[in-house]
Amino acid sequence: MSRIGKAPITLPSNVEFKRGDDNIVTVKGPLGELEQYVDPCITFEIENGEINVKRESDQKQHRAYHGLYRQLIANMVHGVSEGFTIVQEVVGVGYRVSNEGQNLELNLGYSHGIIFQLPKEVSVETVSERGKNPLITLKSHDKQLLGQVAAKIRSLRKPEPYKGKGIKYQGEVLRRKAGKAAE
């Protein structure tokens, strides 16, 4: 049996869980509402404030769905109750970042600045302190959307392996290469 699928999901008191007739699971909480399609072979049992995910058989596909949907539902419950945060660091001389509402303005060494329009579900905050790398803090209740937005921002200037210049996740360890060896 799937070890991830077996783990119960704790349902906070301020979060509402509902499965519709069309196999759409809806999770509603103080930070928002999320929906996810769930395969009909997966069922849910709610008791004592916990959601237990069950599967109908031991087929390989059903075992795979068991862990997958349990984790997706757990992420939805965590997202609508507490939310998710990703912090990115902008490393490089002259690289700047600022935001105005949902527009993120990035100066990354190109001949022009980049204005990145964020979805309304993602909130952004930028911090630029003297002597430190600028930080981009992204917050959302939808983990999947947040990850996609962070990956798109990172793709605008990936960290290069020689000096490490670019946009990286905070705490990310980069593999560095040695430069040219002088003779």
Q: How far is the C-alpha of 21 from the C-alpha of 44, rounded, in Å?
A: 13
Q: Which residues pair with 19 in a beta bridge?
A: 25
Categorize the per-residue pLDDT at 79 as very low, low, confident or very high, splitting at 50, 70 and 90. Answer: very high
pLDDT at 21: 84
- Reported as a single tens digit per residue, the pLDDT across 106-120 is 999 899 999 999 999
pLDDT at 2: 55
Q: Which domains does the chain have, with CATH numbers?
A: 3-81 (3.90.930.12), 84-169 (3.90.930.12)
- Reported as a single tens digit per residue, the pLDDT across 53-64 is 898 888 889 988
Rounded alpha-carbon distances, angstroms, from residue 64 to 9, 40, 57, 70, 106: 18, 14, 11, 10, 40
Asked if residue 1 has pLDDT above 50, the reply is no
Contact 120, 180 (CB under 8 A): no
- Reported as a single tens digit per residue, the pLDDT across 124-170 is 999 998 889 999 999 999 999 999 999 999 999 999 999 889 999 99
Long-range contact set of residues 149-155: C-beta below 8 Å, sequence gap at least 24: 149/118, 149/119, 149/122, 150/86, 150/88, 152/116, 153/88, 153/104, 153/106, 153/116, 154/88
